[in-house]
Amino acid sequence: MGSLTISFSPIRSSSLFFVILIVVCIFLSLLPHSVHSQCKNAPIIFNFGDSNSDTGGLVAGLGFPVKLPNGRTFFGASTGRFSDGRLVIDFLCQSVKASFLRPYLESLGPTFRNGVNFAVAGSTTLPKFVPFALNVQVMQFLRFKARSLQLAAAGGFGNLINDEGFREGLYMIDIGQNDLADSFSTNLSYVQVIKRIPSVIIEIKNAVKTLYDQGGRKFWVHNTGPLGCLPQKLSMVKRSSNDLDPCGCLSSYNDAARVFNEGLRHLCDEMRSEMKDATIVYVDMYAIKYDLISNSTKYGFSSPLMACCGFGGPPYNYNIKVSCGQTGSQACSEGSQYVSWDGIHYTEAANTIIASKILSTAYSTPRTPFDFFCRG
């Protein structure tokens, strides 16, 4: 199979870029929360999750190489993020005028004044006690909190998060996608995958309960996106024609994601009744992302099921042996109209729109502005 070169004429690439830019600007102009934060307190965020919100944890923890063109759009260099630029969590941090979250395992540079990112690519809820399962991330938080308070009590250490900061901080959870994906990859049937979901939900509950017992009262929980729309899955899964929905996504994978999301939504409802002094916001990432894919042209995108960076060409441009950044892979021109960056993760252009929809509160239950935790 020959190598793929994806390119556009300068005029077409430029015009498409401006179409996307105009759409993004319209969204942001309608969202006061994304521009005018009402925070009175310094925003502090603790994030737990997988590659959807990993800002360099895998690189810091394992030395795993995440090479250019990852990071090319905004940072101009690879930062360990699996995207050409910023992730959704980066835009959310910017919306409250907070600096980007640094990985917990980063050994040089971070001060962690505005929080910590415990998310690491590939993370799951199960099995437990393996790097970097959700319960391991929570244990890392417990260590971080205890050490921070210990050093603060000893004196001589500035800019540490204090007890009030831990109480008033926002605790974000975005995990579960890999639990579903890993189950399908081991050739479990759809019914078997569904049977595992309650165990995943329990682990998320355990995580929230532990954080709550530590004084956390403000939680922001993302459900999982349309797994069956990822170019990676579409290129690798053997399927029949009747397993594709009208958008061309894998129905069984998306159905499993919806079952997981329903369980997560019920969990959030349950926890609100049990933890009456806590705010627990559930965000429908599935609806946001599926809308972006099914109505891609409305947002200035085309080929929503094809990766910008990868190998193999249409229809999906994904090859597990030649992933983005590896020798032989090719990336589309900057400013091109792609939703998927590498077959698994989203482009900065897509993340911009996803974040703007989150900030609109239209997809949150209860409808709560993102900056609620730092309004004082």
Catalytic residues: 51, 342, 345
* Residues making up the chain, counted from first to last: 376
Alpha carbon separation from 375 to 2, 173, 370 (Å, rounded): 55, 21, 10
Residue 281 β-bridge partners: 220
How far, in Å, CA of 92 to CA of 98, rounded?
A: 9
- In a 3-state reduction of DSSP, which class is residue 210? helix
φ, ψ (nearest 5 deg) of residue 39 = -65, 130
Query: Helix, strand or coil for residue 171?
Result: strand
Spatial distance between the Cα atoms of 293 and 124, rounded to a whole number of angstroms: 25
158-194: burial string, b at 16+ Cβ within 10 Å, e else: eebbeeebbebbbbbbbbbbbbbbebbeeeeeeeebb
Spatial contact of 305 and 249, defined as CB atoms under 8 Å apart = yes
